[in-house]
């Protein structure tokens, strides 16, 4: 899939591998932001890309048909999405606001089909000292919304050094492009990808 942008630091090839791991042929894949690399990867893997829309205050899944094909002609075997991907934080889901984040998680869970997964990519850095971490808040919100914590996947953004650079006094204050430290601290080297599993039954899903 040449010419496609990364998704939050994840290359199109690795993104396709991730989608393939969590879905099967024919499954419905939603990115909350309708990222074009996710749409392309879903089509490449013979999955069905979709987007979320709000109808009468309720969240719904709307399939994205291939070019030239009407939406009504797209078919799926069951309601809801099989995989939802979301970038955090976002306006309606700040990652240190437990209540707001739980509301967003609950909305996504409502359109997640049985055996489906929600993948959340955290683009934040560490919180201020003394504050609860973004990752912990996301996990707590997902559990409060009725999702099961599945796994944590670190997405590496830069080649990792072979040794701890702060043990080298000659490089402790290095800055600039391509270097590992900024003002004596590590530059961000990875992002947190958190996976949650649905607990919904076919009757509970409202994404049709």
Q: Which of 33-42, 47-56, 59-68 is the least confident region?
A: 59-68
In the predicted structure, residue 77 carries a pLDDT above the cut 80: no
How does residue 66 score in pLDDT terms, banded at 50, 70 and 90? Answer: confident
Kindly give the pairing relationship between strand 190-197 and strand 48-55.
Answer: unpaired
pLDDT tens profile 1-12 = 678 999 998 999
- pLDDT tens per residue, range 150-205: 999 988 776 666 666 555 555 545 544 445 555 555 566 668 999 999 986 655 55
Contact status, residue 103 vs residue 97, Cβ threshold 8 Å: no
Judged by average pLDDT, the poorest of 31-40, 113-122, 129-138, 183-192 is 183-192
The Cα 122–Cα 87 span in angstroms is 6
What's the start-to-end Cα distance of the chain, in Å? 30
Question: Could you give the domains of the chain?
Answer: 12-158+171-197 (3.40.50.150)
H-type alpha helices, the chain: 12-22, 36-44, 98-110, 134-144
Contact between residue 190 and residue 154 where contact means Cβ atoms under 8 Å apart: yes
Mean pLDDT of the chain: 81
Average pLDDT, integer, range 107-129: 86
pLDDT at 112: 95
Dihedral over alpha carbons 124, 22, 46, 60 (to 10 degrees): -70
Give Cα separations from 194 to 120, 139, 154, 191 (angstroms): 5, 8, 9, 10
Here the tokens at position 90 are: 């976002």
Residue range 81-89: average pLDDT?
Answer: 95
């Amino acid at each position: 899939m040449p010419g496609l942008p990364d998704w939050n630091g994840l290359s199109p090839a690795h993104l396709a591998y991730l989608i393939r791991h969590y879905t099967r042929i024919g499954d419905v894949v939603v990115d909350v932001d309708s990222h074009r690399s996710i749409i392309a990867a879903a089509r490449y893997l013979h999955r069905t890309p979709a987007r979320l829309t709000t109808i009468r205050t309720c969240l719904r899944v709307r399939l994205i048909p291939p070019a030239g094909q009407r939406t009504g002609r797209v078919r799926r075997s069951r309601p809801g999405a099989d995989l939802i991907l979301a970038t955090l934080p976002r306006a309606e889901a700040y990652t240190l606001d437990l209540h707001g984040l739980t509301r967003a998680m609950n909305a996504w869970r409502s359109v997640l089909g049985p055996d489906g997964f929600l993948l959340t990519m955290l683009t934040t850095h560490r919180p201020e000292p003394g504050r609860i971490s973004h990752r912990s808040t996301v996990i707590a919100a997902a559990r409060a919304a009725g999702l099961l914590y599945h796994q944590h996947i670190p997405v590496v953004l830069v080649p990792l050094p072979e040794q701890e650079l702060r043990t080298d006094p000659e490089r402790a204050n290095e800055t600039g492009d391509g270097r590992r430290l900024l003002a004596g601290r590590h530059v961000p080297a990875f992002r947190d990808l958190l996976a949650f599993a649905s607990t919904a039954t076919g009757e509970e899903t409202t994404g049709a």
